[in-house]
Structure 1
């Protein structure tokens, strides 16, 4: 029986089974872009420049000056008609000045006088939530003149919202821990999530405590420990990790966080959505 032999080499096309030599099979090219280039998000049609880049999502600054958060998928963007996979953004200096970036990934705003706080508020459950948000989004919050207020839990959320009396000049965003279907937090926020007021936005992450929103590798552990239901999560976590008291554990965690990439994407997305809701219109700070 005749046997076909395979050519020893093909200097033009290479191994026909090597997908790296097939531009179609290899997929769209990976590219970094500058923050001055206009991109199109192919899934939604959103068009603008990159305000923030993350491996899983991108915030575009649209042509009308607003922002929009979109998913960052392979082949998810087009630049000048070319489909690309976006792998980063390079900041282009303006007027010869270097552009700094905040811990949240935003372009740092020029230093200016203090602003009068908006009537709008970002509510969080506790002091640790507030301090973690301040560490990453503090510059953004000051630029937007948004105040973060710990509430000591959400058991009385409906009454608290009624007292706040949200409206177009006083929007409210609420960041909730453990916000997944079926949990106590899910039921406590049900009326506010069901369009009780278009000026109220409820966002959340799936973790039982905001500590677990910090990526475990950032604090030098492989994973956050399992703490049985009914045991205080912070105390149980510190006991299992040998971190001492919850106060000592919290100092260790907060000191380890330098920016948004140190946090789980669920928290980052929730805070970004909250800020978009609070500064998307209405009153302006002075």
Structure 2
């Protein structure tokens, strides 16, 4: 089993050669000693400035092997001023809209089951959602989904999209989803017991997500099987820090979130 330090960070092989990557604006990297993850917003002589998803800026030295790009150590270098600028992309892979401001929120919404689901969606699709004026909220479970839908009051100009965990045939979640019958509501889901599993194991440096026996708390069982500390909150922060773009997520989640965004933003969906 691979060994981890108390902060769950795998040991990096400092002796291995690493690539040099131009610190182009919009490039998303992580500074491993602090765990700070953000997009490049500036690069001066000897330093690079990153902006995280909350808008916080931090400057770091351009040290050899000083950053992680998609989980791999790299050396950031100042970009060549003569090189043509490549089209910038968001973490979801969409073309970024230069200078775009967040739109006023639509009447429609996307609901997800829990806080971790919402944070993961924000991590990858946050920029796109702000441009489209889509708000994501979490429900703390879907047991009361029919009542939630009724209270929301969906309509042609207020579509509702819902992302459900463990939406597989015969599950409790599938029966609840089937009970929602409204043309202005789209309920989709992924097959994973928890949204943690939607993060690719390769992005975390593990061979696979462990199987947790029935009757055990899944997150606690995962931490135990991987030799991580039992603090599931810390485990999630570690997992989320390893998600830099859509490449770190499984297609079964990617497709469903894109489907919900398209549904909520269909022509005619009103902006408040």
TM-score (normalizing by structure 2): 0.67
* Partner SS, residue 261 of structure 2: helix
Aligned residue among 141, 162, 170 for 1:153 = 141
Aligned residue among 107, 110, 114 for 1:119 = 107
User: Which residue of structure 2 aligns with residue 212 of structure 1?
Assistant: 197
Aligned 1:169-208 pairs, distance under 5 A: 169-192=157-180, 196-208=181-193
* Partner SS, residue 88 of structure 2: coil
The separation in 2 between residues aligned to 1:118 and 1:208, in whole angstroms, is 30
* Partner SS, residue 273 of structure 1: helix
Asked if residue 225 in structure 1 is aligned to residue 215 in structure 2, the reply is no
Q: Indicate conservation of the 8 Å contact 1:144/1:285, yes or no.
A: no
Larger relative contact order (CA 8 Å, sep ≥ 6): 2
Deviations 1:108-161 (A, max 9, x none): 012233321001000000000000000000011001100000000000000110
Asked if residue 107 in structure 1 is aligned to residue 104 in structure 2, the reply is no
Paired residues, number: 188
User: Which residue of structure 1 aligns with residue 6 of structure 2?
Assistant: none
Structure 1: unaligned runs, 5 residues or longer: 1-95
* Partner SS, residue 189 of structure 1: helix
Structure 2: unaligned runs, 5 residues or longer: 1-83
* Partner SS, residue 123 of structure 1: strand
Q: Indicate conservation of the 8 Å contact 2:111/2:136, yes or no.
A: yes
User: Which residue of structure 2 aligns with residue 273 of structure 1?
Assistant: 259
The separation in 2 between residues aligned to 1:184 and 1:113, in whole angstroms, is 40
CA drift at 1:264: 0.6
Q: Indicate conservation of the 8 Å contact 2:196/2:239, yes or no.
A: yes
Larger Rg: 1
Aligned 1:19-30 pairs, distance under 5 A: none
User: Which residue of structure 1 aligns with residue 7 of structure 2?
Assistant: none
TM-score (normalizing by structure 1): 0.64
Kindly report the root-mean-square deviation, in angstroms, between the aligned alpha carbons of the 2 structures.
Answer: 1.4
User: Which residue of structure 1 aligns with residue 131 of structure 2?
Assistant: 143
The separation in 2 between residues aligned to 1:114 and 1:273, in whole angstroms, is 21
